[in-house]
Structure 1
Amino acid sequence: MKKLIIILTATVLVACNSSKEKNKIDKNQSSEMATQNDKEKLNDTVAYEESIMLLGKANRKGFQMDAFKDWFSTGYESYPPDSETIEALKPLLKDVTITVFMGTWCEDSQRETPHFYNVIDVAGFDESKLTLITVSDEKTTPQGFEDGKNITNVPTFIFYKNDKELGRIVEYPIESLEKDMLAILSGKEYKHAYAE
Structure 2
Amino acid sequence: MKKIVLLMLAISFFACGEKKEENKEKNTSTEEKIVDTKSDTTQEELQIIVGKYERKNIEASPYGEAWFNDNYELHPLDETTASALSEFLKDVEIKVFMGTWCSDSQMQVPAFFKIMDKVGFDESKLTLIAMTEDKTTIANFEEGLNITNVPTFIFYKDGEELNRIVEAPIETLEKDMLAILKGEEYKHTYAE
Same fold (TM over 0.5): yes
Contact kept, 8 Å, 2:32 with 2:138, in 1: the verdict is: no
* Alignment correspondent of 1:48: 37
Give the corresponding residue for 1:58.
53
Cα distance in structure 2, aligned partners of 1:42 and 1:117: 20
**Residue 43 of structure 1: how far off its partner (Å):** 7.1
Unaligned runs of 5+ in 2: 1-26, 40-45
Query: Is the Cα contact below 8 Å between 2:83 and 2:118 reproduced in 1?
Result: no
TM-score (structure 2 length as normaliser) = 0.79
| Runs of 5+ unmatched residues, structure 1 | 1-36
CA distance in 1, matches of 2:33, 2:54: 10
Structure showing greater Rg: 1
* The structure with more strand, counted as a fraction of residues: 2
Q: CA deviation at 1:77?
A: 1.1
Structure with greater helix share of residues: 1
Letter in 1 for 2:34: T
Residue equivalent to 2:64: 69
Contact 1:44 1:58 in 2 (8 A): no
Residues 113-141 of structure 1, C-alpha deviation per residue, up to 9 Å, x if partnerless? 00000001101110000000000000000
Letter in 1 for 2:170: I
Amino acid at match of 2:36: A
Matched, 1:124 2:120: yes
Q: What is the CA–CA distance in structure 2 between the aligned matches of 1:43 and 1:115, rounded to whole Å?
A: 25
Measure the CA separation in 2 of the matches of 1:184 and 1:137: 27
Residues 159 and 185 (structure 1), Cα distance of their counterparts in 2 relative to 1, 3 Å cut: same
In the alignment, which of 136, 142, 153 is matched to residue 138 of structure 2?
A: 142
Select the residue among 93, 100, 106 that pairs with 2:96: 100
- Partner amino acid, structure 2, of 1:89: L
| Matched residues, number | 159
Poorly superposed stretches of 4+, deviation over 4 Å: none
Question: Contact 1:170/1:194 (CA < 8 Å) preserved in 2?
Answer: yes
Which deviations, in whole Å up to 9, do the C-alpha atoms of 1:70-113 show, x marking residues without a partner? 20000111113211101211000000000000000000000000
Distance 1:43 1:94 in 2: 30
